[in-house]
Amino acid sequence: MRRARITEAVAGFVLSILVLYSPNMLAQGLFGTISGVVSDSSGAVVPSATVRVINVSTNVVTTLTTNGAGVYVATSLNPGVYNVEAEAKGFKTAIVKDITLEVDANPKINLTLQVGQVSEKVEVTTENAPLLQTQQSDLGQTVNERELEQLPTSGGTGRNVYSLLSLAPGVSQQTGCDGCGNYGNVRISGSRPRNDDYTLDGSTITAPVFGGAAVSPSVDSIQEFRIEQNSMSAEYGKAGGAILIAVSKSGTNTFHGSAYEYNRNQKLDARNFFENPIQRKNPFDYNEFGGSIGGPIIKSKLFLFTDYQGIRSHGSAAS
């Protein structure tokens, strides 16, 4: 019996490694797409050209071949910074560097090949390569990692990713309402909270009754999130309101991490308006702490990322 359990545990571990290792499994999430057309200097399309889409942080390469119309489409890409290379026989290699791909975005990157040797390279920066969103008609806004780190994300229940929802146009919140639920009874484009759909890495985390997110990931674990408000893709057929798409961080080819401690107490906070000014302040102490770490298991192939968050709070409120 014991040997059977050990065998099952080993089999489960090996299966999980194979699943994580398979690059095709990325298609199950809500990520991003890079597409475009490869042409020569005269404007004629170049079929059967080799296109490589390279993630700068992980060095993971997606290799494609253009079709008869010179079109390539790289799907299921993690948000991040990418380089796109195109080459064909009798042409120089064309490279577009530092393309920022946001969650659920689909930038169009066209490449022009010039006559020459394949070993010769023509590099173009994103400043000279327009990132057109002609493939999408949706209305929304993306909050990236830098904004998550630098903007205040503290609410009535501590630091929260979704406290930045009010930065997007068409979003209203009931301010000064502690315990209202759904992050201050947030309403996006006039929709009721229960009509919105919250997703994390492609999985729905919407609370079943009154809406809002049933899971609140730590701020340090989220790479970016996007608010889809109108004309979203047909793949989001579940919700009648807005779609809130969050994508967690992943490991890279270099180890990186963070550690944090946020504290609020009665000495630093202002006195509650309804408290008796003669008596001392109500006791209050709130500590939120944690950290994250990510890095490679097998460089350019397999990565890990994990985070921890702890909350310790005690005190009393004015009645």
Domain shared by 229 and 166, yes or no: yes
Domain shared by 36 and 115, yes or no: yes
* Cα separation, 239 vs 205, whole angstroms: 12
* Cα separation, 281 vs 277, whole angstroms: 8
Segment among 3-17, 39-53, 210-224, 290-304 with least mean pLDDT: 3-17
- Answer yes or no: is 301 within a domain: yes
How confident is the prediction for the chain on average, in pLDDT? 79
Domain shared by 109 and 167, yes or no: no
Domain shared by 230 and 272, yes or no: no
- Answer yes or no: is 283 within a domain: yes
- Answer yes or no: is 296 within a domain: yes
Backbone angles phi, psi at 128, to 5 degrees: -100, 0
**Residue ending a domain, choose from 202, 231, 248:** 248
Domain shared by 149 and 230, yes or no: yes
Q: In what order do the strands lie in the sheet containing 197-200?
A: 139-143, 222-230, 243-248, 197-200, 203-204
- Answer yes or no: is 276 within a domain: yes
Task: Please state the domain count of the chain.
Answer: 3
Share of the chain above pLDDT 90, in %: 25
pLDDT score recorded for residue 44: 93
Share of the chain above pLDDT 70, in %: 78
* Res. 96 pLDDT band, cuts 50 70 90: very high
Domain shared by 165 and 212, yes or no: yes
- Answer yes or no: is 293 within a domain: yes
Query: Model pTM?
Result: 0.72
Q: Which residue has the higher pLDDT, 174 or 167?
A: 167
Check pLDDT > 80 for residue 26.
no
Domain shared by 39 and 87, yes or no: yes
Nearest to 264 by CA among 314, 318, 317: 314
Check pLDDT > 60 for residue 259.
yes
* Cα separation, 163 vs 205, whole angstroms: 16
- pLDDT tens digits along 219-246: 889 988 888 887 777 777 677 778 888 8
Range of the domain at 148: 139-248
- Answer yes or no: is 61 within a domain: yes
DSSP SS3 for 148: helix
* Res. 29 pLDDT band, cuts 50 70 90: very low
Q: What is the CATH number of the domain that holds 83?
A: 2.60.40.1120
In which residue are the tokens 């994103």 written? 126
- pLDDT tens digits along 169-186: 888 776 655 555 566 677
- Answer yes or no: is 6 within a domain: no
